[in-house]
Amino acid sequence: MEIKINVPDSLSDITLEQYQKYERIIKANEDVEESERFITCKLIEIFCNVSYDVANNMKLVDFERIATKIYDIIQKTPPLVRTFKMGESEFGFVPNLEDLTFGEYIDIDNHLGDIQQVHKAMAVLYRPIKQKLKDKYILYDYHGEEFHDVMLKMPLDAVVSSIVFFYRLGIDCSTAMMTYLDKGKQREIQQALKAASQTNGDGINHSLHSVRETLQELKRSLN
């Protein structure tokens, strides 16, 4: 019996929730020998919405073709996604990051570096559009946990592009303290941010992690 499998064509076809599930699988099996086949089956199961048995019983040529396509997709770094639709609602990226409140920056800072919690940061960066005229729009105010769970269903291209955009600008609560630092520490942080902005594919998480470590070290040094 033939089974129709919907393979994603781009990051916009993958949800943040799916990617979080995949990341948990990788983490849970990173020290398990010969786990590559299992992880790849889970990759197809999660991103193609099929059962594990369906993925495991595919012809080898189909299995490798689909897995390769998905791996290629999740390694891409798309340009910033300004708006996207979920259901009947349209969400927009905050037009001006300088207008964020201190509390909003804290919520972003606390969750942007953790893929399992990043939907909470996304709820700050992307909000439902209240009014729109051509490419201009006004967003609803941020109300804490209101849209945390909703953002689990957001497209992964918006997640990846906003994380990279955010760090390229060097926007982090800690960067507000840059003027109080010596030149050496300023250069260290700028180098970490530059590395993150130039990274593609599976190196994104590593480079962004380096930025986070540098900024966290900065916070500790100022306390």
* Type of residue found at 176: A
**Rounded to 5 degrees, what are φ and ψ at 86?**
-130, 115
Which H/E stretch holds residue 73? Answer: helix 60-74
64-113 pLDDT per residue, tens: 999 999 999 988 889 999 999 998 899 999 998 878 887 888 888 888 88
161-200 pLDDT per residue, tens: 998 888 777 644 444 444 434 455 555 555 555 555 454 4
CA atoms within 13 A on the CB side of 110: 10
Record the pTM.
0.76
